[in-house]
Structure formats: structure tokens, C-alpha cells
């Protein structure tokens, strides 16, 4: 009986560790509720995100055998631009298109860095750090979502106090 209990405990720990290492991207509704409940100030945009892809690609290259390197757990900040619309009181402002500078903070664990959608239509959550708008990306996802009608509808429902799932 003790052997059975010990085996169960060990399997539970192994299963827990494995699931802790896996990632699941947050649904856009959860990202919205997190931002709305935060003490930080968030801005949300829909539009095209562009940045110099070579800066991220160059940063991801490192010597995998160099265990003294701190790069395997570092992040990089890259200047980017969002061309599109800001989320206003009820919707994305359709009359005033914005071209907004943002900073992309991309976290890496060894060569597994966050995926950042370059030159694509997205919904982007940014938090204010002083005068800068910053979006974070890591191996499990980040502050951007594909600009689909479903994502936009869910976000606007949350924003207007409707269903937020």
C-alpha cells in the first residue's frame, strides 16, 4: 500500500512539473480583465505592428554551450510602431488613425524567445511605463492577439460591460 501511495505521489509531482513547463496562451477576455483590474495603465490598439526583425533574430543567436552567458534568461527591448486605432470609451476610434511608437520587451529562455507578429494586423495591449507604451512577449505568448472578428467582438463586449468569456 505504501508503494502504491508513493508511486501516486511521484506521478503527481512529475505530472505537475510537466504541466508547469507547458504554456497556454491567455484568451483575449482574460487579458482584458487582467488589464482592467490592474493598477497599471493599459492602452489597447488594433492595427499593424512593425519593427526591425533583424534585432530580434540577432539577439536570439547565442552559443548554446556557453553556460556562463546570461543571455539565455535575458530580454531585449525593440522599438516598434503600431499603425491603426486606439480603443476608446466604446470602440476602436474609427475617425482618427494613430501611428504610435511602442517598445516590445521580448523574453527569451535559451533560444526560445517570444513570438512577435511583425507586419501583421493585431490587437495589442500596452502598459504605460513613464511616457513609453510597452508590450511584453515570452515563450508562452504575449500582449498581442490576431485581429479576427471573434477577438475584436470579445474584446469590445468586455470593454462595454457585456459578456467577457
Residue 15 lies in a domain: no
User: How confident is the model at residue 35, as a pLDDT?
Assistant: 95
User: How confident is the model at residue 58, as a pLDDT?
Assistant: 80
Residue 83 lies in a domain: yes
Residue 113 lies in a domain: yes
Q: What total of structural domains would you count in the chain?
A: 1
| Helix H or strand E encompassing 90 | none
If we measure between CA atoms, which residue out of 139, 134, 127, 120 comes closest to residue 79? 134
The alpha-carbon radius of gyration of the chain (Å, integer) is 19
From first to last of its 165 residues, the chain has per-residue pLDDT tens of 443 333 333 333 334 334 344 677 789 999 999 999 999 999 999 999 999 999 888 877 665 555 555 555 678 899 999 999 999 988 997 667 899 999 999 987 766 777 898 999 999 999 999 999 999 998 788 899 999 999 999 999 999 999 998
User: How confident is the model at residue 5, as a pLDDT?
Assistant: 39
Residue 108 lies in a domain: yes
Structural contact between residues 77 and 126, judged by C-beta atoms closer than 8 angstroms? no
User: How confident is the model at residue 74, as a pLDDT?
Assistant: 75
Residue 14 lies in a domain: no
Domain that holds residue 41: 23-159
User: How confident is the model at residue 113, as a pLDDT?
Assistant: 77
User: How confident is the model at residue 71, as a pLDDT?
Assistant: 53
User: How confident is the model at residue 75, as a pLDDT?
Assistant: 84
Residue 91 lies in a domain: yes
Residue 91, C-alpha cell as written in the block: 470602440
User: How confident is the model at residue 115, as a pLDDT?
Assistant: 84
Query: For the chain, what is the largest distance between any 2 Cα atoms, rounded to a whole number of angstroms?
Result: 70
Structural contact between residues 78 and 103, judged by C-beta atoms closer than 8 angstroms? yes
> Is 121 buried (19+), middle (13-18) or exposed (0-12) by CB count in 10 A?
middle
CATH of the domain at 49: 2.40.50
In the chain, % helix, strand, coil (3-state, to 5) comes to: 30, 35, 30
Residue 17 lies in a domain: no
User: How confident is the model at residue 68, as a pLDDT?
Assistant: 55
d(CA 48, CA 87): 14
Residue 99 lies in a domain: yes
Number of neighbours of residue 28 by Cβ within 10 angstroms: 23
Amino acid at each position: 500500500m505504501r508503494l502504491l501511495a508513493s508511486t501516486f505521489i511521484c506521478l503527481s509531482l512529475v505530472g505537475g512539473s510537466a504541466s508547469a513547463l507547458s504554456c497556454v496562451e491567455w484568451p483575449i477576455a482574460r487579458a482584458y480583465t487582467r488589464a482592467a483590474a490592474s493598477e497599471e495603465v493599459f492602452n489597447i490598439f488594433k492595427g499593424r505592428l512593425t519593427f526591425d526583425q533583424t534585432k530580434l533574430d540577432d539577439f536570439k543567436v547565442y552559443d548554446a554551450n556557453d553556460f556562463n552567458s546570461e543571455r539565455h534568461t535575458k530580454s531585449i527591448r525593440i522599438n516598434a510602431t503600431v499603425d491603426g486605432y486606439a480603443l476608446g470609451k466604446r470602440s476602436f476610434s474609427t475617425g482618427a488613425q494613430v501611428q504610435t511608437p511602442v517598445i516590445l520587451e521580448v523574453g527569451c529562455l535559451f533560444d526560445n524567445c517570444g513570438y512577435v507578429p511583425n507586419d501583421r494586423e493585431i490587437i495589442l495591449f500596452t502598459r504605460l511605463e513613464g511616457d513609453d507604451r510597452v508590450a511584453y512577449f515570452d515563450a508562452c505568448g504575449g500582449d498581442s492577439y490576431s485581429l479576427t472578428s471573434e477577438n475584436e467582438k470579445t474584446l469590445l463586449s468586455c470593454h462595454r460591460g457585456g459578456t467577457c468569456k
